[in-house]
Amino acid sequence: MMWKGHSNKRGYSLPLRIERLEDGRYLGRSSKLPGLNVEADSIEEVIRLAPKVARSLLAAMRAKGLPL
């Protein structure tokens, strides 16, 4: 399943590939932001959590001086 995130205030959007894991949980990842992994009990929860996880990951990358 592919989900394209809505644009936020800065105009970013993030494609999110969501797959069901063997244990019944869901995993969301994005090829546009390596390292983004969101695991949750439902697709809706993955979608809800993904923006916050992405912001945290980007902030950590900035703090370490890594290219975005």
Q: Write the pLDDT tens digit of every residue in 47-59.
A: 999 999 999 999 9
Record the pTM: 0.78
41's tokens: 């009990």
Q: Where are the domains of the chain?
A: 2-63
CATH number of 2-63, picked from 3.30.160, 1.10.10, 3.30.70, 3.40.1350: 3.30.160
Would you say residue 5 has pLDDT above 60?
A: no
Confidence of residue 36 (pLDDT cuts 50, 70, 90): very high
Strand partners, 26: 20, 40
| pLDDT tens digits for range 7-34 | 455 557 889 999 999 999 999 999 999 9
N- to C-terminal Cα separation, the chain: 25
Backbone angles phi, psi at 59, to 5 degrees: -65, -40
What does the pLDDT read at residue 1?
Answer: 53
Long-range contacts of 33-37 (CB under 8 A, 24+ apart): 33/57, 33/58
